[in-house]
Structure 1
Amino acid sequence: MNDRVTLPTALARRTNKVLRPRDAADVYAHPRGEFERLLKQAVLRRISNGYYALAPMERLGDIRWRPDLAAAALGIAQADYGRDAVALMGVTAARRHGALPRAIGTAVVAVPKQRPQLHTDVGEIVFVKRDVARLDLERVDTELTAGWMTTPEQTALDIAARPGLGGIEEADASAILRALARKVDWALIEDLARAQHRPAALTRVKEAAGA
């Protein structure tokens, strides 16, 4: 760690380590200038225009550190909409559930408003307008923040309904559904499919499972 690095306690204690300059307005009189200093010290890393990731304490000053794409996606979404209004979903949740063995360069996150895809230096983020309160969710912890992601059941229905979301191929979507089908509670996924009016998606999940 660089001995010259100084980080205000208010920033170090933030639960979401993705920051926008305005998030530090109560800490610095001129946040953008201070952020430039922290970038040079490798305390912050710019991940996209207007968004910065605070390095873990053990990596402060390490210019090689890069945040995980899913963590960045969840952190950015939380910074803009709050923790409980967003959730990792689709292929990103599938990877967290162990149903996608390889990393891909796109993260998918549910948010309350329509917004365009965001390019970051760790990958692309696709935002999907969803009412997170109507989704089946579970807790997720990342290196930048803690929050929500869709359960295996919800993830399977979402991928079956929109198999190309996140830029995956049809064959990849089918493989993900087969892997998720081994994890789902069938009574729960049937209840979700009824509540969300997704009979076709449920049928596809069952076909993938050979049920």
Structure 2
Amino acid sequence: MSDRVTIPTELARRQNKVLRPRDAADVYAHPRAEFGRLLDQAVLSRLRPGYYALAPLERLGDSRWRPDLAAAALGIAQADYGRDAVALMSVSAARRLGALPRAIGTAVVAVPRQRPVLDTAVGQVVFVKRDVRRLDLESVETELTTGWMTTAEQTALDVAARPELGGIGPSDAESVLRALARKIQWTVVEELARDQHRPGALARLKKAADA
């Protein structure tokens, strides 16, 4: 990396390392041009037009670095809607909970508005309109940001309700549900199913757990 490369303190200290040019409007007079320079010097990695990931300090200048897909998805959602309005869910939460052993090319994140699928340099991001205040959440730390993801109980219910979400097949969904069933408190799941009006999902989860 060139010795001339510097990162303004305002950007380096941002909690969310997914940046949009307008996020740097108070740092640079011409943020798009400056982002282009930082991209050339592998300080930023382009996720897609308008969204960039700031490389960790130990990877600055390494053009091979790419962020984790779930981290990028959560960072993009936070950039657009704020930290407390979004959460990793479904297969992305299942992966973080150890219930999905292999990485997949799709991340799923709950957001407050309907939004099309987003293709990025590290995979596909699927947005699901949910009011995260009604979801059972726990904190999550990624290489790009900290935020929220659904708990094992909420994740199990979500996967049971929409097993195809995220592009996994029926057999993978069954495996995820069985793995989650070993981690959950059934009284919590039953309460969530009642509050969220999901009796069918609860029945499918119980069936998978007994398989």
User: What TM-score, normalized to structure 2?
Assistant: 0.99
Aligned positions of 1:108-127 closer than 5 A: 108-127=108-127
Q: Deviations over 1:78-114 (max 9, x none)?
A: 0000000000000000000000000000000000000
Return 5+ residue gaps in structure 1 as ranges.
Answer: none
State the match for 1:163 in structure 2.
163
CA contact (8 A) 1:87 1:110 kept: yes
Alpha-carbon separation, structure 2, partners of 1:53 and 1:7: 13
Alpha-carbon separation, structure 1, partners of 2:154 and 2:20: 31
Alpha-carbon separation, structure 2, partners of 1:189 and 1:159: 12
Q: In the TM superposition, what is the alpha-carbon distance from 1:208 to its structure 2 partner?
A: 1.0
State the match for 2:145 in structure 1.
145
State the match for 2:73 in structure 1.
73
Q: Deviations over 1:53-99 (max 9, x none)?
A: 00001111111100000000000000000000000000000000000
Alpha-carbon separation, structure 1, partners of 2:31 and 2:133: 34
State the match for 2:196 in structure 1.
196
Q: In the TM superposition, what is the alpha-carbon distance from 1:42 to its structure 2 partner?
A: 0.4
Alpha-carbon separation, structure 2, partners of 1:70 and 1:3: 32
Task: State the identity as a percent.
Answer: 78
Task: For residue 114 of structure 1, give the secondary structure of its aligned residue in structure 2.
Answer: coil
Q: Deviations over 1:169-200 (max 9, x none)?
A: 01110010000000001110010000001111
State the match for 1:83 in structure 2.
83
Alpha-carbon separation, structure 1, partners of 2:137 and 2:13: 26
Return 5+ residue gaps in structure 2 as ranges.
Answer: none
CA contact (8 A) 1:2 1:60 kept: no
State the match for 2:12 in structure 1.
12
Q: In the TM superposition, what is the alpha-carbon distance from 1:3 to its structure 2 partner?
A: 1.6
The letter for the 1-side match of 2:50 is G
Q: Deviations over 1:125-158 (max 9, x none)?
A: 0000000000000000000000000000000000
The letter for the 2-side match of 1:8 is P
CA RMSD of superposed structures (Å):
0.8
CA contact (8 A) 1:5 1:61 kept: no
Alpha-carbon separation, structure 2, partners of 1:119 and 1:74: 14
Alpha-carbon separation, structure 1, partners of 2:83 and 2:77: 8
Q: In the TM superposition, what is the alpha-carbon distance from 1:49 to its structure 2 partner?
A: 1.4
The letter for the 1-side match of 2:122 is V
Alpha-carbon separation, structure 1, partners of 2:179 and 2:208: 9
Question: How many residues get paired?
Answer: 211
The letter for the 1-side match of 2:148 is W
The letter for the 2-side match of 1:179 is A
Confirm or deny that 1:48 pairs with 2:48. Answer: yes
State the match for 2:58 in structure 1.
58
Q: In the TM superposition, what is the alpha-carbon distance from 1:4 to its structure 2 partner?
A: 2.0
Alpha-carbon separation, structure 1, partners of 2:77 and 2:35: 20
The letter for the 1-side match of 2:136 is D
State the match for 1:175 in structure 2.
175
Q: In the TM superposition, what is the alpha-carbon distance from 1:119 to its structure 2 partner?
A: 0.3
State the match for 1:23 in structure 2.
23
Q: In the TM superposition, what is the alpha-carbon distance from 1:2 to its structure 2 partner?
A: 3.3
Alpha-carbon separation, structure 2, partners of 1:142 and 1:112: 21
User: What TM-score, normalized to structure 1?
Assistant: 0.99
Alpha-carbon separation, structure 2, partners of 1:16 and 1:100: 26
